[in-house]
């Protein structure tokens, strides 16, 4: 194989203001990490992924428009970015910029809406003349000829020279954008959503144009899009991104016929094709862990207040057949035909066994009851508090699972939702004992998940950040609304894409942070001392 035109090795990019858990600092938070791929000369590589997964950022970074903090970027074998230099790189840093200018002519980016990137006061001819002059392409040829040639190349007529950008259609504008990018005779074009919003005919013309340029000039293209059909029509290989990581990369036919990653599979399941099918929307796009809430029989612990009370209400709203609402004190439970109050302290083994015997029709167990001493590990009464946390959060949950696993099995498998916390995955100073009990809960969840698979029981972990309930009343905002936590949990269970559910930005951010760099998250959390 030829030498790659572009190669990235473990590229990492941080952007914006990093949240230091609750505060902010200037270091930025990781948007992309561990990005390694190659683009061959004359290759069209498509980049797909969910909104916010970092596609545009990656494109901009390669074009020299966003700073890169780690890794290596080689263009045509020349290390433009290397580990030794990355630490000091800033967008406005001139020494860094010079490294890029060597290749600026060779790498051009085209944006989704050329209207915003074309100067409205310049005619199209004037706009095209700028790069021609800047990159010294003109030599001795008169500018007009070069501009005519560019316009013809993208399938427009020379008359377009004298028009202003707002006077032409979207598809034509997009071609002007391409003509401008071609002016410097680049070897790599980064095209970000250049055909979205165009009708199929204009789209086909642009796709054909890119293929022609590839065939005649050996142009390479990094084609960013969310349209899988366009990827199939155009690209040689496809790179799938999710949460700033490469999930899958390979030849388009191969990836689309046999996707390896669950996210790619999900994307493909949802893409429509032009066949008449009035039932298509009903075809399930549900993931492998999906469970139905409607007509389920649920058992909720700690149902008298906080998140538990919200669970009870939401289950009824979603059509659960019956909800056993378990609480130590049942007096505060709402009255409803479908609610069965159960007096239960989950640390009382006898009571747990009795509850399982009473509720023999349960299909969904929600282990929500929890205790947080809100005291530091090293404080004097902490041993009792720490034991109590373990007793409720870990042993209580364990005895519930043991008692109800046979019930769920008898009812066809069903599911278990364990209300854990993002603190199951990261430790917060002054809450170490709670974190330990919640981490124990996560370990237990993972083991039980594997063990109960054979009987068809789905086991979910729900790991929110801080929630606005009695438990966190001294915790500073922002806090999640408990109803939003329950919604995220039940939506996640019904969609079934993943069995770990992270409600809210704080949990999502920490989860992404853990994927990028766990040690850094630990350091961030250690900075949180009230």
Partner 1 sequence: MSLLEVDTLSIEVHGAPVLRNVSLTINAAEIGGVVGESGAGKSMLGKAILGVLPRDARITHGAIRLDGQDLLSLSARHRRKLQSRTTAFIPQDPLTALNPCRTIGAQLAEVLPPTPRAHRLAEVIRWLDAVRIPSAAKVAKSFPHELSGGMRQRALIAAAFASHPRLVIADEPTTALDATVQKDVLRLIRELQQDTGVGLMFVTHDLCVVAKICQSVTVMHGGRIIEQAPCDQIITAPRHAYTRALLAATPRHDETGRGLEPIPPALLEQLITEAGTGNG
Ligand X SMILES: NC(=O)c1ccc[n+]([C@@H]2O[C@H](COP(=O)([O-])OP(=O)(O)OC[C@H]3O[C@@H](n4cnc5c(N)ncnc54)[C@H](OP(=O)(O)O)[C@@H]3O)[C@@H](O)[C@H]2O)c1
Binding footprint of ligand X on the chain (CB under 6 A): 301-302, 304-308, 327-329, 344-347, 368-371, 392, 396, 419, 421, 464, 466-467, 469-472
Rounded least distance, CB 351 to ligand X, Å: 9
Nearer to partner 1 among residue 45 and residue 488 (C-beta): 488
First-residue to last-residue Cα distance in the chain? 57
Q: At CB < 8 A and 24+ separation, what contacts does 136-140 make? A: 137/183, 137/184, 137/185
Rounded least distance, CB 313 to ligand X, Å: 13
Please give the structure tokens belonging to residue 96: 């860094």
Rounded least distance, CB 248 to partner 1, Å: 15
Q: Decide if 138 contacts 149 (C-beta within 8 A).
A: no
Nearer to ligand X among residue 341 and residue 396 (C-beta): 396
Select the binding partner of residue 178 from ligand X, Mg ion, partner 1, none (C-beta < 5 to 8 A, by kind): none
Number of other residues whose CB lies within 10 A of the CB of residue 400: 24
Q: What track of x and - describes contact with partner 1 for positions 17 through 56 (by CB under 8 A)? A: -------------------------------xxxxx----
Nearer to partner 1 among residue 49 and residue 306 (C-beta): 49
| Helix 432-452 / helix 397-410 crossing angle, nearest 10 deg | 20
Q: Decide if 222 contacts 236 (C-beta within 8 A).
A: no
Q: Name the one range near partner 1 by CB under 8 A: 93-101, 118-126, 263-271, 423-431.
A: 263-271
Rounded least distance, CB 526 to ligand X, Å: 20
| Cα 179 to Cα 446: distance, rounded to the nearest angstrom | 54
Residues 6+ apart with CB under 8 A from 349: 399
Question: Applying CB under 5 A, which of residues 40, 56, 424, 499 lies at the interface with Mg ion?
Answer: 56
| Cα 43 to Cα 30: distance, rounded to the nearest angstrom | 29
Residues 6+ apart with CB under 8 A from 160: 124, 125, 151, 168, 172, 176
Q: Does 231 bind partner 1 (CB under 8 A)?
A: yes
State the virtual CA torsion across 244, 250, 254, 257 in degrees, nearest 10.
Answer: 0
Nearer to ligand X among residue 96 and residue 371 (C-beta): 371
Sites for partner 1 among residues 500-529 (CB under 8 A):
503-504
* Cis status, amide bond into 478, omega within 30 of 0: yes
Q: Which helix (H) or strand (E) holds 73?
A: strand 70-75
| Cα 32 to Cα 40: distance, rounded to the nearest angstrom | 22
| Cα 2 to Cα 41: distance, rounded to the nearest angstrom | 8
Q: Of 125, 9, 128, whose CA–CA distance to 62 is shortest?
A: 9
Sites for partner 1 among residues 153-182 (CB under 8 A):
169-171
Rounded least distance, CB 55 to Mg ion, Å: 5
Q: Of 444, 25, 498, whose CA–CA distance to 507 is shortest?
A: 498
Select the binding partner of residue 31 from partner 1, Mg ion, ligand ATP, none (C-beta < 5 to 8 A, by kind): ligand ATP
Nearer to ligand X among residue 368 and residue 433 (C-beta): 368
Binding site for ligand ATP (CB under 6 A): 15-16, 31, 49, 51-57, 226
Select the binding partner of residue 56 from partner 1, Mg ion, ligand X, none (C-beta < 5 to 8 A, by kind): Mg ion
Select the binding partner of residue 40 from ligand ATP, ligand X, Mg ion, none (C-beta < 5 to 8 A, by kind): none
Q: Name the one range near partner 1 by CB under 8 A: 11-19, 132-140, 277-285, 442-450.
A: 277-285
Phi first, then psi, for residue 377 (nearest 5°) are -65, -30
Chain residues binding partner 1 by CB under 8 A are: 48-52, 169-171, 196-205, 207-208, 211, 226-233, 252-253, 256, 266-268, 270-278, 280-281, 285, 480-481, 483-484, 487-488, 491, 503-504
Residues of this chain that bind Mg ion (CB under 5 A): 56
């Amino acid at each position: 194989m030829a030498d790659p035109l572009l190669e990235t090795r473990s590229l990492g990019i941080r952007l914006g203001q990093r949240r230091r858990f609750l505060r902010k600092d200037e270091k930025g938070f990781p948007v992309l990490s561990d990005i390694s791929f190659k683009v061959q000369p004359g290759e069209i590589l498509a980049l797909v992924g969910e909104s916010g997964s970092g596609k545009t950022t990656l494109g901009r970074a390669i074009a020299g428009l966003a700073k890169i903090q780690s890794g290596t970027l080689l263009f045509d074998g020349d290390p433009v970015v290397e580990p030794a230099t990355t630490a000091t790189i800033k967008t406005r840093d001139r020494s860094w910029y010079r490294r890029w200018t060597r290749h600026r002519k060779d790498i051009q980016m085209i944006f989704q809406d050329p209207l915003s990137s074309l100067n409205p006061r310049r005619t199209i001819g004037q706009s095209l003349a700028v790069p021609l002059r800047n990159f010294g392409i003109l030599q001795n040829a008169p500018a007009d000829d070069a501009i005519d040639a560019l316009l013809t190349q993208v399938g427009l007529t020379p008359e377009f020279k004298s028009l202003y950008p707002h006077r032409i259609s979207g598809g034509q504008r997009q071609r002007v954008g391409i003509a401008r990018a071609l002016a410097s005779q680049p070897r790599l074009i980064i095209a970000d959503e250049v055909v979205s919003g165009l009708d199929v005919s204009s789209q086909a013309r642009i796709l054909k144009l890119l293929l022609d340029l590839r065939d005649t000039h050996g142009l390479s293209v990094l084609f960013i899009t969310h349209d899988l059909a366009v990827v199939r029509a155009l690209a040689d290989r496809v790179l799938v991104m999710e949460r700033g990581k490469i999930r899958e990369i390979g030849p388009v036919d191969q990836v689309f016929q046999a996707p390896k990653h669950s996210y790619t599979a999900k994307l493909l399941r949802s893409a429509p094709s032009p066949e008449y099918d009035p039932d298509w929307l009903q075809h399930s796009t549900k993931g492998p862990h999906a469970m139905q809430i409607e007509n389920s029989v649920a058992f909720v612990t700690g149902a008298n207040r906080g998140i538990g009370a919200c669970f009870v209400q939401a289950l009824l709203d979603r059509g659960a057949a019956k909800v056993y609402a378990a609480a130590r004190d049942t007096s505060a439970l709402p009255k409803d035909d479908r609610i069965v109050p159960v007096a239960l302290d989950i640390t009382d083994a006898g009571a747990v066994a009795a509850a399982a015997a009473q509720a023999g029709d349960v299909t969904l167990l929600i282990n929500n009851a929890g205790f947080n001493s809100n005291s530091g590990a090293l404080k004097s009464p902490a041993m009792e508090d720490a034991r109590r946390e373990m007793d409720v959060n870990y042993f209580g949950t364990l005895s519930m699972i043991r008692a109800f696993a046979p019930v769920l099995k008898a009812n066809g498998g069903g599911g278990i939702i364990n209300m854990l916390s993002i603190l199951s995955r990261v430790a917060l100073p002054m809450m170490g004992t709670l974190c330990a009990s919640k981490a124990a809960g996560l370990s237990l969840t993972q083991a039980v998940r594997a063990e109960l698979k054979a009987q068809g029981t789905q086991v979910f972990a729900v790991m929110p950040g801080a929630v606005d309930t009695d438990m966190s009343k001294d915790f500073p905002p922002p806090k999640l609304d408990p109803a939003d936590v329950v919604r995220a949990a039940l939506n996640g269970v019904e969609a079934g894409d993943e069995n770990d559910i992270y409600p809210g930005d704080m949990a999502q951010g920490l989860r992404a942070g853990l994927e990028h760099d766990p040690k850094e998250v630990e350091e961030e959390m250690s900075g949180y001392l009230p």
